[in-house]
Amino acid sequence: MSVKVVKVTSEYHGEWLRLRNAVYTGIGRTFHEQEMVLYLRDDTKECFLAISENGDACGMIEVSLRNVVDGCLTSPVGYVEGIYVDPEYRGSSLARRLLERAESWCRSKGCSEVATDAELDNQDAQRFHERMGFEETYRIVEYRKEL
């Protein structure tokens, strides 16, 4: 299986949206599309897609720069906002390749740390991050309130 990792462009809108729907469940299309515009325009955000030999996207990683991240002492910190690989491509090291590409981008932006998160009940994601070398820092439930 030959797969290339590329920086996202608007050309891949439909495939990118499909992958976002798979990783960020419960979020509406309008929010996805507004955030996708931000990823295309904001140099503190980046998305990389894995493109199969038939031209379809089969994985993605979205990464951003954050000024403050719990458990990190530097700034900015590269933050893996989401990573997803289609089931038929899992176990092929594709997620590792996507992460390596994101880490390279983070280093190019001056980061010396990269962080991420996983849902408390998503044991598969937690094990994946540990296999990729991430260390657990905190277990919390986050809240927000509109003003």
Name which of 26, 14, 29 is nearest 60 in CA terms.
14
Name which of 53, 99, 52 is nearest 78 in CA terms.
99
Q: What's the pLDDT score for residue 123?
A: 94
Q: What's the pLDDT score for residue 30?
A: 95
For residue 46, the cross-strand partners are 63
Long-range contacts of 100-106 (CB under 8 A, 24+ apart): 101/5, 101/48, 101/61, 102/46, 102/48, 102/61, 102/63, 102/78, 103/78, 105/46, 105/48, 105/63, 105/78, 106/63, 106/65, 106/78
Q: What's the pLDDT score for residue 25?
A: 87
For residue 67, the cross-strand partners are none
Q: What pLDDT, in 10s, does the model give residues 16-55?
A: 999 999 999 889 999 999 999 999 999 999 999 999 999 9
CATH topology of domain 3-131: Aminopeptidase (3.40.630)
Q: What's the pLDDT score for residue 141?
A: 85
Q: pTM of the full predicted structure?
A: 0.92
pLDDT-flagged residues of the chain (< 70): 1
Q: What's the pLDDT score for residue 12?
A: 94
Evaluated on CA atoms 43, 48, 51, 55, the torsion sign reads: negative
- Residues found in the chain: 147
